[in-house]
Amino acid sequence: MNVKATIVALLLMSTSVKAQKSFPDALQEIATVKVFAFGGIGFAGRTSDGETDFRIILAQPRDTALDAFEKLYRADNPQAKAYALAGIYRIDKDAFKSLRTSWHGSGLTVRTEEGCIVSEESLQKIADQLNAGKYDAWTK
């Protein structure tokens, strides 16, 4: 097997493994995610594990997904809270708005990644960006 064919085969296998992740596994993994990222990241522009888990949760029935994101928002992990806010914003904007006091002025810092740039943003800024539509293209 030549090198090109081997690389393609490995990529296809890794994609199918991710596609088979269960909802409970995705919820468990996103609760400990290390970075908040939508869109391509890193040199290869790959989809982050957090975004993959986010999409698995979002694909659940509305009430199940909303409940999962609300539980995730109560996690101690700021990156998980950011994904939870993105999910709540997508599913129920009124519920998102009701959480405003919990992130406004909280001082929580979220590790983010855009492309190859890793930085830190306040949870408040991410919530404001969600509300302004910055992530709409990725959360649909």
Q: Which amino acid is at 37?
A: A
Q: Which two tokens stand for residue 119?
A: 């930085």
φ/ψ of 5, rounded to 5, equals -65, -35
pTM of the model as a whole = 0.83
Q: Nearest 5 degrees, angle CA 115-CA 118-CA 123?
A: 110
Query: According to the model, what pLDDT value does residue 10 have?
Result: 46
For 58-93, the pLDDT digits (tens) are 999 999 999 999 999 999 999 999 999 999 999 999
- Work out the end-to-end distance of the chain between its first and last CA atoms, rounded to an integer number of angstroms: 39
Q: Nearest 5 degrees, angle CA 102-CA 56-CA 50?
A: 60
Helix axis angle, 23-30 relative to 62-73, nearest 10°? 20
